[in-house]
């Protein structure tokens, strides 16, 4: 089973892309306080409008799975998010 939960804050304004069918794709880093590192999140959800609240600095909980892609000679790990939930401040 590949299930992952990460809490942290949105590290930068999300990059927004659209598939040919109009599905919105968000890509952004989540800064994790414990350990002082960031991990990239990819979220594909809904049509062109709407989506989770992902403004810079916003505290969120991300549920998803860890994915690995090859970039040149190195492996890159990202989280493919299935849910993004706002956390209380």
| Domain residue ranges of the chain, discontinuous segments joined by + | 4-86
pLDDT the model gives residue 85: 92
pLDDT the model gives residue 49: 53
Q: Is residue 29 a contact partner of residue 12, using CB atoms and an 8 Å limit?
A: yes
| Count, residues in the chain | 89
Q: Is residue 79 a contact partner of residue 40, using CB atoms and an 8 Å limit?
A: yes
Query: Residues in the chain with pLDDT < 70?
Result: 46-51
pLDDT the model gives residue 72: 86
CA 87 – CA 89 distance, rounded (Å)? 6
The hierarchical CATH code for the domain 4-86 is 2.40.50.140
pLDDT the model gives residue 46: 56
pTM of the model: 0.84
Which residues, other chains included, contact 52 with Cβ-Cβ below 8 Å and sequence gap of 6+?
26, 43, 45, 60, 84, 85, 86
pLDDT the model gives residue 51: 64
């Amino acid at each position: 089973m590949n299930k992952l939960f990460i809490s942290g804050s949105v590290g930068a304004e999300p990059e927004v892309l659209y598939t040919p069918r109009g599905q919105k794709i968000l890509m952004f880093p989540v800064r994790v306080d414990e350990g002082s590192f960031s991990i990239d999140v990819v979220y594909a959800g809904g049509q062109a409008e709407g989506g989770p609240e992902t403004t810079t600095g916003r505290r969120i909980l991300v549920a998803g799975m860890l994915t690995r892609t090859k970039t040149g000679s190195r492996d890159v790990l990202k989280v493919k998010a299935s849910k993004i939930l706002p956390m209380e401040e």
